[in-house]
Every structure is written in structure tokens, then in C-alpha cells.
Amino acid sequence: MKIESRLAQIGSVQEPVTGAVNYPIYLATAFRHPRLGQSTGFDYARTKSPTRSVLEQAAAELEEGDAGFATSSGMAALTTVFALFQQGDHLLVSLDLYGGTFRLIEQIMTRFGVTASYVDTNDLDALEESRCSSTKAVLIETPTNPLMMVTDLAKVSAWARKHGLLTIVDNTLLTPFFQRPLALGCDIVVHSATKYLGGHNDVLAGLIVTKGKELSERMGFLHNSYGAVLGPQDSYLLMRGMKTLALRMERHESNALAIANHLLKHPLVSNVYHPGLPEHPGHDVQKAQASGNTGIFSFKVKDAVLVEPILRHLKLIAFAESLGGVESLLTYPTVQTHADIPEEIRLRVGVDDRLLRFSVGIEHVDDLIADLDQAFAQADQETKAKGESPS
């Protein structure tokens, strides 16, 4: 079946007793054994839970992997994956990186002796130069958050395999509806399922999908041992959100591209970062390895003095810190999502005080453009009155 049909049918045929179209929420943490030495397949909810199992099976199938693991957040998913590594191990990591991932590596994993080098993961020469005898994996965001840098997954995963390295991909921004890294040769996919997969800003969750029997067994052991698993209520909410993923991603994509093109012509905007734009670096790679584009992109205003009044004058769009929900959100990475990244690193990549990140929702695109235009206009008027406007 096409992915749209598989998404809509998540959990709809897994309950044979009643025929429930929506898979039930099993709140049980303990399960009876028929007799000594026998199990129903469920013993204790941390290890395996019925509602979570249906979600995990769906995630594995959608990402074309062998096993799925649902966690209590996207950061819990990454932490569980990082448990694959030990003291002395080294990772190669995307240069433009979500601030929470940077914080996890630099403030926690380094305490356990795991280190990282941050490189442009689409540059094989840079990867080769940073690789050392203790390197164990490449961690890739593509496109990256917030500058939308694109990595050729087939090329990098082939390079990594040649050197015995794992390739781990954060697929949060594109989801399996638009991109399936495991089919391109990668080993592990992680998601902050709070974002597009859940899609309604109402559930905190993470997902891991693995390829290969041995790796899947290792991840299953870590998932059970760490215990940062997703509860049954949240598993149900996540499945419910995923049923409409195809429809939502199509609207997110079309809205975001229309607004990105609108902002390209705006006199107060200097840069627009969207992989769907032909002039965006990596546009051709993105087009080749993904069937569509995410609903998130970033742009820079011409002067940082515009940022505060723009955010203050928004009416429909919310000034908030997440992404991937049906509601549109505008984020200021410098003080929000990327505040934990040292300033010199942020500035070197391009995450400066003029950058805004836009998670475009499913509202009517004309209303979103009108809200941006009026917020820009009022910000321009205010800064002109103070003698600060760049226009």
C-alpha cells in the first residue's frame, strides 16, 4: 500500500477480539502468565506494552526498518541511542545542530568520555579529516535546524560503512512521509515525535528505528534498560496524530514554500533558508533523496532591532519554541532553541541575532502572509520612529 493508506490505517486491524478500529489504550503495567514458563508476549510495561507495540511496529514499517522503539521524548530517543557508545568513543556530528542535541553531547556525554567533532556532514573531505581511530558514528540532521543544510545520505552512509561507522539520522523535520534514511543506507533513525509525527502540540514523544537484527537487539536491550519509554496514553495520541501525517505534511510544505517565496521579495528580509528554493545550497540533493520538503524554514531580517517588535505584533502566528504542529509558530533561535550553543559557534554557522525560524502550520496561507506583513509593517514603523529602521 501507499504510505498515505498505511498511515491512515495505523492500529486499525490489530485488535481481533472486538474489531476496534482505533487500537485501545492498555494502561496495565503487569500481565498474567498463563503458567510457569509461558508468556502472552507481555510481562512488564517498561519492556513491552500493547499500545506502544502497535506504534513501534508502525514506525518501523514506515521508516523501512526492522525494529521501532517509542521513547518519552526526542531527547530520550537520542540519549538511548548514545548509550551504544562508551568511554573514549568519538562522533562526527552535523555542524548546524539543534541546541538540545549539542547540550546533551557537550554537557552530559562528555562526562562519560564520549566526544564529538562538528562538521559539514555533506563534505566527505571534512568528515575524513575529522575521523580518527576512535570514531564510531556519524550523526546527521538533514535538513538541519535551523539553517536547512542538506546532507547526501546515500553518499555519507556509504562512506561511513566503508570505515565501519554507524550512520544515525535525525529525521524529525521530514518524517518518513518525505524521507526514509534507512532505505538510503543509514542504520538508525531518530525522531522528536512531538513535532510533525504527533502534529498537534499535545504529546511529548520520541522514536527510534533501527536496521539490522544485531543492532535492533542491542537497541531493544538499551530501550528496556534505560526505561525512558512512552506511556500508553501518549502512544495512542501519537498514533492518532500520525494517521493524518500525509495530509498535514502536504499543507505544511505548500504553505512554507509560498511564504518563503513571499519573504524572498520582502524589503526587510535579507536571507531565506528553505531547501525547496532552487537557489538553496543542497536543493538538488534534497530533491533527489526526499519526495517533499518540511514545513519549517528560517529567514534573517535586515537588522536585529526588528526582531522584538515583529514578534510582539504577531496576531495569528504564535511566538513559541516548538515546531511541527498544526498551529504556526515563530521562534528566535538565539535565545530559545539554540541558547545552549556558545555564541562563537552559533555565529560561525550563521545562527545570529537576525535569524528567525518559522514552523508553518496548516492555516490558510493568505492569513499567515497577512499576519507577517502587518507585523513587519508595524515593526518598521516603530524602528523608524526611533531612527533605527534599516528600510
Three-class secondary structure assignment of the chain: CCHHHHHHCCCCCCCCCCCCCCCCCCCCCECCCCCCCCCCCCCECCCCCHHHHHHHHHHHHHCCCCEEEEECCHHHHHHHHHCCCCCCCEEEEECCCCHHHHHHHHHHHHHHCCEEEEECCCCHHHHHHHCCCCEEEEEEECCCCCCCCCCCHHHHHHHHHHCCCEEEEECCCCHHHHCCHHHHCCCEEEEECCCCCCCCCCCCCEEEEECCHHHHHHHHHHHHHHCCECCHHHHHHHHHHHCCHHHHHHHHHHHHHHHHHHHHCCCCEEEEECCCCCCCCCHHHHHHHCCCCCCEEEEEECCHHHHHHHHHHCCCCEECCCCCCCCCEEECCCCCCCCCCCHHHHHHHCCCCCEEEEECCCCCHHHHHHHHHHHHHHHHHHHHHCCCCCC
- Look up 170 and say whether it is catalytic: yes
- Look up 118 and say whether it is catalytic: no
- Look up 98 and say whether it is catalytic: yes
| Cα–Cα distance measured from residue 104 to residue 239, given in angstroms and rounded to the nearest whole number | 27
Among the listed residues 46, 103, 218, 302, the single catalytic one is 46
- Look up 352 and say whether it is catalytic: no
- Taking the CA atoms of the chain, what radius of gyration do you get in angstroms? 22
AA letter at 300: K
Among the listed residues 170, 187, 371, 380, the single catalytic one is 170
Among the listed residues 52, 180, 195, 240, the single catalytic one is 195
Among the listed residues 23, 26, 52, 98, the single catalytic one is 98
Residues designated as active site: 46, 98, 170, 195
